[in-house]
Structure 1
Amino acid sequence: MKTTDWKDTSVGEIVAEDFAAAKVFKKYGIDFCCHGEVTLETACASLKLAPEEVMQALKQQKENGEGRIPFSSWPLDLLMDYILKIHHRGIRKNGPELLTLLEKVERVHGEAHPELHELKLLVSESLNDLEMHLQKEENVLFPYLYDLYSAQEQGQRMEPMHCGTIANPIRVMRMEHEGEGNRYLHIIQLTDHFSVPQDGCASYRLLMQELEAFVDALFEHIHLENNLLFPRFEEIERQIVG
C-alpha cells in the first residue's frame, strides 16, 4: 500500500491495492466486496469502529507481508482465468460437498441446534443461485470480455456487445453479488462467526471450517470482479468500442 492514512479511501480500493488487507477487514467485519465503494471512515462509522485502530491493523498487516497476492498487477485475461478455474470450479466442487456435510450435521444436531435447518436452506438456495450466476458469466459476459481484452492488446476497435454495453450484464452481476454477499453475512451471524457449540462433534467442527473457507473464497470472487475486473473492462470499453 502506498499510504497509511486510508480514511478517505474506499475499502474496495484498499484491498485491490493489497489483497492482504482482506484479512484485516474480515477480522473487523468490514464488507470490502459487495460494498467496496464506501470509504474506510464510513465503513468504520457504520460498525462503530475506531478508524485509527483499523488503520493500525492494516499497517501491521502490510509490514508482516503475509497473504499478499498481486491481483491488481495481473493482466485481465489471467484474472479471468483465475476466476474461472479457481472460483467457478471451486464453487461447483466444494459447494455440493459442503451441503452434504451440512445435511449430515443437521441430522445429528438439528434438534438441539435448529439454526442448522435455516443454514441448510440458505446454502442450498445459494448453490442453485450461484450456478445460474456462473453460467451467465461463462456464456454471456466473459466470452465478450476475452475478445475485448484481445482487441485492446492488438490495438483494434470492437463492435458493441449484443446487449449494447457491458454495463448491462455487469449491473446484473453486481446485483447478484450483493444478494449472495448479504446471504452469507446473515449466515455469519446465524453461525456466530462459524462457532462450534460445546456439544459439537468433529463433523460439526469440520462443517464450520469448510463453511468459513467457502465464504472466504466467495468474497474473494466478488471482490475480484467488483473492484478489479469490472471497472477495468468498463474503462477499456469506453476506449475501443464504437
Structure 2
Amino acid sequence: MHDNATAAVPQETGALIDHILTNYHEMHRVDLASLVPLAERVEQVHADDPDAPKGLASALARLAHEMEDHMAKEEMILFPAMRAGGGAGIEHPIAVMRADHNDHAETIALIRKLTGDLTPPEHACGSWRSLYGGTATLLDELAAHIALENDVLFPRFEPAR
C-alpha cells in the first residue's frame, strides 16, 4: 500500500505537478507493470473456475495503455505548458485530458464488473487475493489522482466556468 493519501499536497503549481508525477504517474506505471502479468497468471491457473476474472488481464492492459498515452501527453505537452504559466489555448489540451479521465472511468467500470467489485471468492488463492487488493489500491489512487487534476490543478488554467 502506498502512502499517497498521507503525503501533503503542495499548493504551488510546479510542486503540485512534481507531486502528481512522483506519487501517481510513477506509481501507476509500477503497479500496472506487476498487475497485468499477475492477472494473466490468475486467469490461466483458474481457467476452469467460473468465478475467475476472465478478461481482467486484457482490461488492465487496456487501462495501462490508455493511462500511458494520457500520462505521456501530460508529461510532454500539458505539464511543461503549465510550468511555463499556461497561456492562450491551454484550455484545449486540458479538455482532452478531462475527456481521457472520463474514458478511464469506462475501463474501470469494466474491471469492477469482471471482478465482482474486486471481491475475491472465498476459495481464492493468495495470488488472486493479491491481484484484487493491488487492483483496488490502483483504482483508489487513480481516483485520487484524477480528482487532484480535475478539481485542483486544471481549474487554475481554465476560464471560470
C-alpha separation between the residues in 1 aligned to 2:29 and 2:8? 25
**Structure 1 counterpart of 2:66, from 129, 132, 138:** 129
Is the counterpart of residue 108 in structure 1 residue 32 in structure 2?
A: no
**Structure 2 counterpart of 1:94, from 7, 14, 31:** 31
Kindly provide the CA deviation profile for residues 134-178 of structure 1, in whole angstroms up to 9, marking residues without a partner as x.
110010100010110xxxxxxxxx7x4xxx511110111011100
- What is residue 222 of structure 1 aligned with on the other side? 146
Cα deviation for residue 191 of structure 1 reads 1.4
State the SS of the aligned residue for 1:111. Answer: coil
Is the counterpart of residue 117 in structure 1 residue 54 in structure 2?
A: yes
- What is residue 117 of structure 2 aligned with on the other side? 193
C-alpha separation between the residues in 2 aligned to 1:113 and 1:203? 17
* 1:94 and 1:214 in contact (8 A); partners too: yes
Cα deviation for residue 111 of structure 1 reads 2.3
Gaps of 5+ in 2: none
- What is residue 94 of structure 2 aligned with on the other side? 170
C-alpha separation between the residues in 2 aligned to 1:95 and 1:177? 17
Match runs of 1:60-71 below 5 Å: 71=9
Match runs of 1:1-242 below 5 Å: 71=9, 74-113=11-50, 116-148=53-85, 160=87, 164-234=88-158
TM-score between the two structures when normalised by the length of structure 2: 0.87
Kindly provide the CA deviation profile for residues 192-213 of structure 1, in whole angstroms up to 9, marking residues without a partner as x.
2211112210111111100000
C-alpha separation between the residues in 1 aligned to 2:81 and 2:152? 17
For residue 233 of structure 1, what is the amino acid of its counterpart?
Answer: F
C-alpha separation between the residues in 1 aligned to 2:44 and 2:104? 26
* 2:25 and 2:71 in contact (8 A); partners too: yes
* 2:118 and 2:132 in contact (8 A); partners too: yes
C-alpha separation between the residues in 2 aligned to 1:213 and 1:234? 30
C-alpha separation between the residues in 2 aligned to 1:186 and 1:89? 23
Structure 1: 4+ residue segments shifted above 3 A: 67-71
Alignment: residue pair count: 156
Cα deviation for residue 100 of structure 1 reads 1.2
C-alpha separation between the residues in 2 aligned to 1:106 and 1:179? 25
- Asked which structure has the greater CA Rg, the reply is 1
* 1:102 and 1:120 in contact (8 A); partners too: yes
